[in-house]
């Protein structure tokens, strides 16, 4: 991925910034020009919840290019506490420990290494929340 293409998304990926629809109240991620639910174009930037619950998950055994050294890895569909849904890798977890309903929190990680452009990309991944005793 080219440097500008990576740079464009930094704010949103590094800080989990989405948008709030001023019409229907939906929280939208990733950002876009209009609300996919009601068509409203008045959207306000908002910070997404950094905690959520796993709705479904899988383990990628055979990755695409750029992800080889991370495989196998867990990818989950997560419902954030503010109601938005996000797709993300879940790290610091063994596949055997994964379950629907697992509580997770956002963490900042290395995501991909692009051999052609030479950039190392960072962004969000999620990890299990460790409950305090």
Partner 1 sequence: MRPVYIAGVALTPIGEHWELSLRDLACEAALKALEKAEVERIDALYVANMGAAPLQSQLHLGALMADALGLYGLPAMRVEAAQASGGVAVHEANLAVASGLYDSVLVVGVEKMSDALPLEVRSALAMAEDQEYTAYTGVTDVGLCALLHRLYMERYEAKPEEVAALAAISHEHAVGCPHAQYPFRVSVEKILSSPMEADPIHMLECSGIGDGAAALVLTADRGDVEIAASTVAVDHFFLTERSDPLILEAVRTASKRAYERAGISPRDIDLVELHDSTTIIGILSLEDLGFVEKGFGARYVSEGNVRRDGELPVNTFGGLKARGNPVGATGVYQVAEIALQLLGEAGRCQVEDAEVGVAENLGGVASTASITILRRH
Q: Which residues contribute to the site for partner 1 (CB under 8 A)?
A: 1, 9, 13, 28-30, 36-37, 55-68, 70, 73, 75-77, 84-89, 95, 100, 111-112, 123
- Find which of partner 1, Zn ion, none residue 40 binds, CB within 5 to 8 Å per kind: Zn ion
CA 92 to chain centre: 15
Binding residues for Zn ion, how many (CB under 5 A)?
Answer: 8
Is residue 23 at the binding interface for Zn ion, with CB under 5 A as the rule? yes
Tokens 């990755």, residue located: 63
Figure out which of the listed residues 24, 55, 120, 129 binds Zn ion, where binding follows CB under 5 A: 24
5: left (phi over 0), alpha (psi -120 to 50) or beta: alpha
Q: Which CB sits closer to partner 1, 49 or 112?
A: 112
Which segment (8-16, 17-25, 46-54, 65-73) binds Zn ion by CB under 5 A? Answer: 17-25
38 binds, among Zn ion, partner 1, none (CB under 5 to 8 A by kind): Zn ion
Shortest gap between Cβ of 129 and partner 1 (angstroms)?
20
Report in angstroms how near the CB of residue 42 gets to partner 1 at its nearest. 18
Question: Are the C-beta atoms of residues 19 and 50 closer than 8 Å to each other?
Answer: no
Whole-number Å distance between alpha carbons of 17 and 102: 23
Nearest to 58, CA basis, from 93, 84, 30: 93
Identify whether the C-beta of residue 77 lies closer than 8 Å to the C-beta of residue 87. yes
């Amino acid at each position: 991925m080219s440097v500008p293409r990576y740079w464009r998304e930094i704010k949103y990926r590094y800080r989990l910034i989405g948008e709030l629809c001023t019409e229907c109240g939906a929280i939208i991620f990733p950002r876009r020009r209009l609300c996919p639910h009601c068509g409203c174009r008045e959207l306000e930037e908002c910070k997404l919840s950094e905690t959520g619950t796993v709705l479904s998950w899988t383990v990628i055994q055979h990755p695409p290019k750029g992800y080889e050294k991370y495989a196998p890895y867990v990818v989950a569909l997560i419902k954030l506490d503010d109601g938005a849904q996000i797709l993300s890798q879940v790290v610091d977890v063994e596949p055997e420990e994964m379950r629907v309903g697992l509580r997770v929190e956002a963490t900042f990680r290395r995501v991909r290494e692009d051999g052609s452009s030479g950039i190392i990309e960072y962004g969000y991944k999620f990890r299990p929340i460790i409950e305090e005793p």
